[in-house]
């Protein structure tokens, strides 16, 4: 998804093409078909075409479609869904025409009922793309809003899974969800109290008011705003004071023993690694509200070989 966000910068016109029957359009080599043999009450059968039951099917299908579309700059695919885009109508139409010709030459057919053409706003892979950027799919947001308070750990995991899909629009998601994540641990007794209820409602409220984020522009100066808390690290990648994407993760057990300065340093290193797709070779300014880091990282050598902050400084 991060690669797609970078590619769509400046796009104003969108289309989506869906491939009919997905995996089943790809023929298996005769020498490989016996591997797919399965038993039924009326005998043995085997597949002639790629089946989703094959462990490597997703990778094989993705690679095949990418190879078919190779050379077309205005197109990207996620499995059997293909998004076509352009900075203007002419660029979009050229990419769409090339895409349809590439699919035709490869013998791939499309499901016209699921295709959308010439849209200024397009729902694709759970997100909404437009010239203004990327926003969460309203249907996924509504699903979170309609969720009832969990009654057991399994329902907590289900809710967190739904919310996680839209976490790129939520600042400090890991810290926000910490009271709920505790309930998913096997050694924690179930107890739904005010901290859990508040976290549950905070996720709903923040997702409901989340705004669209911008597409990444490699020509612009990026800003990386980082923060470390006792339970997680978080970062915001922004350009021109507008968020590109939010990210966060929970601290591991050993990391929770870090000092605040060490957690803040960890947040910087983790954020740079997490957003490497955007930041590698691009100008970036890192912003932290923890002033001691500035002074520490000006020192060429860490205070001691075991200094955690010195180690993270070297990583950056």
1-123 sits in which CATH class? alpha beta
Which residues contact residue 52 at a Cβ distance below 8 angstroms, ignoring those fewer than 6 apart? 22, 23, 58
Digit-by-digit pLDDT tens for the chain (316 residues) are 777 877 899 999 999 999 999 899 999 999 989 999 999 999 999 999 999 888 899 999 999 999 999 999 999 999 899 999 999 999 999 999 999 999 999 999 999 999 999 999 999 988 999 999 999 999 999 999 999 999 999 999 999 999 998 999 999 999 999 999 999 988 889 999 999 999 999 999 999 998 889 999 988 999 999 999 999 999 999 999 999 999 999 999 999 999 999 999 999 999 999 999 898 888 899 999 888 887 777 755 555 444 455 555 555 5
* Angle subtended by helix axes 153-164 and 194-208, to nearest 10: 20
- Which of the four CATH numbers 3.40.50.2020, 3.30.420.40, 3.30.40.10, 3.30.420.10 does domain 222-311 have? 3.30.420.10
Instruction: Please give the pLDDT value at position 293.
Output: 84
State the Cα–Cα distance between residues 113 and 73, nearest whole angstrom.
25
Instruction: Please give the pLDDT value at position 305.
Output: 47
State the Cα–Cα distance between residues 65 and 70, nearest whole angstrom.
8
Enter the pTM of the model: 0.83
For residue 115, give both structure tokens.
Answer: 């295709």
State the Cα–Cα distance between residues 310 and 13, nearest whole angstrom.
48
In DSSP terms, which residues pair with 85 in a beta bridge?
14
Residue range(s) in the chain whose domain bears CATH number 3.30.70.270 = 1-123
How many other β-carbons are positioned within 10 Å of the β-carbon of residue 148? Answer: 8
CB 237 within 8 A of CB 244: yes
For residue 62, give both structure tokens.
Answer: 């993705």
Helix (H, G, I), strand (E, B) or coil at 192: coil
Domain 136-209 has CATH 3.30.70: yes
Q: How many CA atoms lie within 13 A of 256 on its CB side?
A: 9
Instruction: Please give the pLDDT value at position 116.
Output: 96
State the Cα–Cα distance between residues 293 and 81, nearest whole angstrom.
45
> What's the first-to-final CA gap in the chain, in angstroms?
24
Say how far residue 183 (Cα) sits from the centre of its chain: 25
How many other β-carbons are positioned within 10 Å of the β-carbon of residue 289? Answer: 10
Which residue from 259, 254, 219 is spatially nearest to 240, judged by alpha carbons? 219
State the Cα–Cα distance between residues 235 and 229, nearest whole angstrom.
11
Instruction: Please give the pLDDT value at position 72.
Output: 92
């Amino acid at each position: 998804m991060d690669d797609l966000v970078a590619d769509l910068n400046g796009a104003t016109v969108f289309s989506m093409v869906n491939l009919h029957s997905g995996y089943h359009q790809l023929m298996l080599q005769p020498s490989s078909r016996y591997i797919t043999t399965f038993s039924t009450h009326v005998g043995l059968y085997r597949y002639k075409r790629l089946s989703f039951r094959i462990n490597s099917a997703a990778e094989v299908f993705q690679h095949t479609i990418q190879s078919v579309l190779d050379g077309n700059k205005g197109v990207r695919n996620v499995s059997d869904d293909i998004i076509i885009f352009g900075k203007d109508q002419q660029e979009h139409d050229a990419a769409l025409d090339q895409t349809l010709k590439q699919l035709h030459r490869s013998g791939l057919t499309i499901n016209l009922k699921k295709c959308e053409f010439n849209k200024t706003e397009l729902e694709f892979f759970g997100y909404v793309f437009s010239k203004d950027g990327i926003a969460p799919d309203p249907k996924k947001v509504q699903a979170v809003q309609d969720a009832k308070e969990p009654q057991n750990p399994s329902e907590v995991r289900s809710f967190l899974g739904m919310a996680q899909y839209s976490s790129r629009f939520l600042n400090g998601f890991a810290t926000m969800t910490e009271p709920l994540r505790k309930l998913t641990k096997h050694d924690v007794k179930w107890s739904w109290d005010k901290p859990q209820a508040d976290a549950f409602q905070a996720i709903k409220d923040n997702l409901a008011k989340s705004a669209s984020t911008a597409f990444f522009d490699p020509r612009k100066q990026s800003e990386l705003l980082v923060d470390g808390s006792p339970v997680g690290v978080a970062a915001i990648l922004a350009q021109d004071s507008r968020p590109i994407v939010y990210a966060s993760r929970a601290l591991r057990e050993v990391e929770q023993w870090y000092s605040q300065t060490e957690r803040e340093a960890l947040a910087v290193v983790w954020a740079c690694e997490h957003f490497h797709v955007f930041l590698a070779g691009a100008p970036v300014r890192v912003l932290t509200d923890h002033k001691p880091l500035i002074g520490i990282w000006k020192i060429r050598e860490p205070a001691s070989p075991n200094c955690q902050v010195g180690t993270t400084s070297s990583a950056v």
